[in-house]
């Protein structure tokens, strides 16, 4: 058995134009007032990896072509569709007609991410690195999803959380 790395040709990745034309998983990430452009870039890269519809950058969230976004996005800002909103509530209200909106947040009555399944398109709100999802935004969502944790810390990095959530949400859609 060989564990030799695959070449770029063997990985058969799409170029940015092919990605834009390809069918997407019906998921939108809504970034609620992120402070870190590095987290934004990491989520662009995850959004590309899981071929989701779009990213909505809200409020103070940095937007491309910010240098630190480009550093971690590795070109995925050219493939993943994105839009900026002046505030997160505006983004949630716009997408509610076409997607169920969930927050990735530790709340009373949250649903464990690993038990969540939906047949509907999903918009997932990811919160600010310090304060999480804004309380006013939580009033607008269908519910909240929570990643079970078993260590001493009460949270994960938002880009890590987003990657975990995208992996889980796309798993049943991959066939």
Look at residue 33 and tell me if it is in a domain.
Answer: yes
Task: Report pLDDT for 1.
Answer: 86
Query: Domain of 112?
Result: 22-146+156-173
Look at residue 16 and tell me if it is in a domain.
Answer: no
Task: Report pLDDT for 22.
Answer: 94
Residue 124: CATH number of its domain: 3.40.1280.10
Task: Report pLDDT for 143.
Answer: 98
SS3 annotation, 138-164 = HCCCCEEEECCCCCCCCCCCHHHHHHH
pTM: 0.96
The tokens of 102 are what? 């969930």
pLDDT in tens, the chain (175 residues): 889 999 989 999 999 899 999 999 999 999 999 999 999 999 999 999 999 999 999 999 999 999 999 999 999 999 999 999 999 999 999 999 999 999 999 999 999 999 999 999 999 999 999 999 999 999 999 999 999 999 999 999 999 999 999 999 999 888 7
Task: Report pLDDT for 2.
Answer: 85
Yes or no: say if 133 and 32 are a contact pair by the CB < 8 Å rule: yes
Q: How many domains are there within the chain?
A: 1
Task: Report pLDDT for 96.
Answer: 97
- For residue 98, how many C-alpha atoms fall within 13 Å in the half-sphere facing its CB? 7
Look at residue 82 and tell me if it is in a domain.
Answer: yes
The tokens of 165 are what? 């959530």
Question: In 10-105, where do the E strands start and end?
Answer: 25-32, 52-58, 81-85, 100-104
């Amino acid at each position: 058995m060989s564990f030799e790395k695959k070449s770029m040709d063997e990985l058969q990745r799409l170029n940015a134009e092919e990605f834009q034309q390809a069918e997407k998983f019906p998921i939108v990430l809504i970034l609620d007032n992120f402070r870190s452009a590095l987290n934004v870039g990491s989520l662009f890269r995850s959004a590309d990896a899981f071929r989701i519809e779009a990213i909505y950058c809200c409020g103070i969230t940095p937007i491309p072509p910010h240098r630190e976004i480009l550093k971690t996005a590795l070109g995925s800002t050219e493939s993943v569709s994105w839009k900026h909103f002046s505030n997160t509530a505006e983004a949630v209200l716009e997408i509610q007609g076409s997607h169920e909106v969930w927050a990735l947040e530790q709340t009373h009555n949250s649903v464990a991410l690993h038990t969540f399944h939906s047949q509907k398109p999903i918009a997932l709100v990811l919160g600010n690195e310090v304060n999480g999802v804004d309380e006013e935004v939580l009033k607008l969502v269908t519910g909240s999803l929570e990643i079970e944790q078993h260590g001493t810390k009460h949270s994960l990095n938002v880009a890590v959380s987003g990657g975990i959530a995208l992996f889980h949400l796309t798993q049943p859609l991959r066939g």
